[in-house]
Structure 1
């Protein structure tokens, strides 16, 4: 049974970030999704990669994140839990695209509550960065995750994105390490239309039921985690085909994080299918600390 999606606001932020931090010692697969207030610049379909990244940088640097969904699971696809972090966003002060905000309202986002009870990004960034500094062996999963990772990177660094796509992927490798984009991964799976499908359609083909509402970060991160686990169960794809590749750009993300020694890994072999995740520390005791 999949755990409930936990809405996180400023009132319960301390409690829930502590729970998430403790869970990261065992549940190393981090599936994320974001909700943000639209696209000021839209790149034409025939736009170059340079144009696409230039527009992405402009949009992410100019706009604020509204929601960050995080789902934790283990190497076998067992879900521990989902957190939906809701940030302070004031329609009277913050920049947004009207059509996008109206769409999010129709899908259940309460912007009055975001303005009143949302988490301040600077406080979140300080604590979340300290958490990640203690967990350098995570495996990050997205779906069509170019913008999700860009917003997450901006949130963690609290700085503008790098000026080039190569600088962007290099920084992603430094901050996140191992990254998978399930949309890119799906191109190697027979019957999944070369990956040219949305998340909900892909979940439907794989017979996965959504929990929560579409276009909400918690629900989408959970569905991403379930789709990722199901693909790994059904399709024997080697990691080297997709690890570090994002749908929409060419440069791969190369981890610059030093993983734990091989002697500490659990590497499962189930039904002769290559393991989808390497780097699971086994049976270690850890100290727990959250900065104030």
Structure 2
């Protein structure tokens, strides 16, 4: 399967192909690449601390790559696009040296990224235009693997605003902007032989006999592998998707599509939380939607 590299010079042409393909393939598997974690969260951290670290890291760092693979409900692949964003300066922007070194070893060319990458403003304007069209035509399904950070970066990018202040408001914002979401790592906890979900994407792919195309730690290749794993997992474990919709590995609030009447905090949590919290409602604006949506 060819992974289509998208740069400033071919952005509009490839976005047009992406738009055309989305009509037939409305399942969007995605991955992001970013320059590391300034704060490492302990495995036993409470949920509020974990989200504080997510918010700090995402708002402190710049996104480098976005990978999107489109597929249909039967797992047929429509195409994979790898969008390269400009704006990151290794000399002046915050980053983790080890993370940058890893990305370089796996083929990410930072000099080319800076010179030929797509500007964030141009990407956001074009990508949101495509999403507005398709949101009005059919439901979109978003698929990630261990996607807490991927969704946080994408939410920040598309809204061009800081992340919400609490994890509950974050989950609500995801429901407004994206709607239906699956996290394959969360799904793996319900699959026999997958170590309760404590497993990486490469290992899940091996257990399901799914082969990778391209290099690991490249957003296009990771999104394509995520799409293939999601399809194979659904075919092998037929009840898992229904149990996992709206659940992200690492946080407890369920993500509910914005037009459903039940608020997130009244839904079954994705795993037990230590204590309930009370949050006030507020208006969240999504640039994908024509009006403000009361959350």
* Structure 1 length-normalised TM: 0.86
Q: Distance in 2 between matches of 1:238 and 1:143?
A: 15
Offset from partner CA, 1:221-278 (integer Å, 9 cap, x none): 00000000001111121533100000000001011147xxxxxxxxxxxxxxxxxxxx
In the alignment, which residue of structure 1 is the partner of 2:274?
Answer: none
2:250 aligns with: 248
Q: Which runs of 5+ in 2 are unaligned?
A: 261-295
Query: Are the aligned partners of 1:69 and 1:83 in contact in 2 as well (CA < 8 Å)?
Result: yes
Give 1:103 shift: 1.0
Q: Which residue of 1 aligns with 2:10?
A: 12
Aligned to 2:188: 186
Is 1:32 the equivalent of 2:30? yes
- The aligned counterpart of 2:212 is 210
Q: What secondary structure does 1:119 align onto? A: coil
Count of aligned residue pairs for this structure pair: 256
1:238 and 1:104 mapped to 2: Cα distance? 33
Q: 2:41 aligns with which of 35, 40, 43?
A: 43
Structure 1 segments unaligned to the other structure (5+ residues): 259-292
Query: What is the CA deviation profile of residues 182-215 of structure 1, one whole-angstrom value per residue up to 9, with x for unaligned ones?
Result: 0001111112221111000110111111000001
Separation in 1, partners of 2:196, 2:40: 24
**C-alpha distance in 2 between matches for 1:183 and 1:6:** 25
Q: Does 1:92 align with 2:72?
A: no
Cα distance in 2 for partners of 1:245, 1:79 equals 24
Equivalent position of 1:219 in the other structure? 221
Residue number in structure 2 paired with 1:131: 130
Aligned to 2:267: none
94-103 or 144-153: which moved more?
94-103
1:70-97, Cα deviation, whole Å (9 max, x unpaired): 0000000000110000011221332211
TM-score by length of 2: 0.85
Residues 245 and 251, structure 1, Cα contact 8 Å, conserved in 2: yes
Distance in 1 (alpha carbons) for counterparts of 2:178 and 2:236: 26
1:164 equivalenced with 2:166 (yes/no): yes
Deviation per residue, 1:122-156 (Å, 9 max, x gap): 11111111111112210000000000000111111
Q: Is the 8 A contact 1:90 1:114 kept in 2?
A: no
CA distance in 1, matches of 2:120, 2:74: 32
Q: CA RMSD in A?
A: 1.1
Q: How does 1:37-186 map to 2 (within 5 A)?
A: 37-88=35-86, 89-136=88-135, 137-186=139-188
Report if aligned partners of 1:33, 1:142 keep a CA contact under 8 Å in 2: yes
CA distance in 2, matches of 1:85, 1:244: 25
